Amino acid sequence: MKPLKRKYCPNCGSPNIKWVIPQMWSVWECNECGYTGPIVIEDEELAEEIRKNYLKIVRK
């Protein structure tokens, strides 16, 4: 059995993302930035880069 990969928001890189309705696996919602959509990131390095860029924009 493969270990589950952690999911990250494609907008802000946060791991604080969840299914809106578990039966509809393609709809995700981020609790930090409010993103709602079908795309999630599973690459931790990419998520870290997205997070750095997002925080730069938000802090301006």
Show me where the domains of the chain are located. Answer: 17-58
Residue 17 has pLDDT above 90, yes or no: yes
Q: What is the dihedral of CA 28, 38, 57, 54, to 10 degrees?
A: 70
Distances (CA, A) of 30 to 1, 2, 3, 40: 27, 25, 22, 10
Residue 24: pLDDT band (50, 70, 90) is low
The residue ranking higher by pLDDT, 20 or 53, is 53
Residue 23 has pLDDT above 80, yes or no: no
The sign of the dihedral angle between the CA atoms of 29, 30, 36, 38 is negative
Least confident among 3-7, 10-14, 24-28, 49-53: 24-28
SS3 48: helix
- Does the pTM exceed 0.75? yes
The per-type count for the chain, helices as H runs and strands as E runs, is 1, 3
